[in-house]
Amino acid sequence: MKRMSITLDEELLKAVQELTGQRTKRAAIEAALKAYVRRQRIQDLIEMAGSGAVDWDLEDLLAYRALELKEGQGRGQG
């Protein structure tokens, strides 16, 4: 982990804490960053659909999703 000092919009941070259910600012920021990264990766996969770059069937996607959920629970993300 890297320690840093940044200036954030207080209202935006409060909204993130409420939406994520996180009690600490650090946890709320991490949750927001993880959600953003996940959403971008999903968007990238959607854009590659039909291009031949991704050769997954439904079973592969479900297995990936199950693994992703399992890993998220292991880090305290339910």
pLDDT digits (tens, 9 = 90+) for 1-19: 889 999 999 999 999 999 9
Token output for 12: 């935006």
Joined tokens for residue 2: 């890297």
Query: Which residue blocks in 4-78 are alpha helix, DSSP H?
Result: 10-20, 25-48, 58-74
Angle between helices 10-20 and 25-48 (to 10 degrees): 80
3-state secondary structure of 60: helix
Could you tell me if residue 70 is inside a domain? Answer: yes
Q: Would 50 be classed as within a structural domain?
A: yes
**Average pLDDT over all residues of the chain:** 85
What predicted TM-score, i.e. pTM, was given to this entire model?
A: 0.63
Residue 36 lies in a domain: yes
Residue 5 lies in a domain: no
Does 8 or 49 have the greater pLDDT score? Answer: 8
Predicted pLDDT of residue 28:
96
**Within a domain: residue 42?**
yes
For position 77, what pLDDT does the model report?
47
Residue 34: domain span: 10-74
Number of domains in the chain: 1
Cα 22 from Cα 14, distance rounded (Å): 10
pLDDT, average across residues 44-51: 77
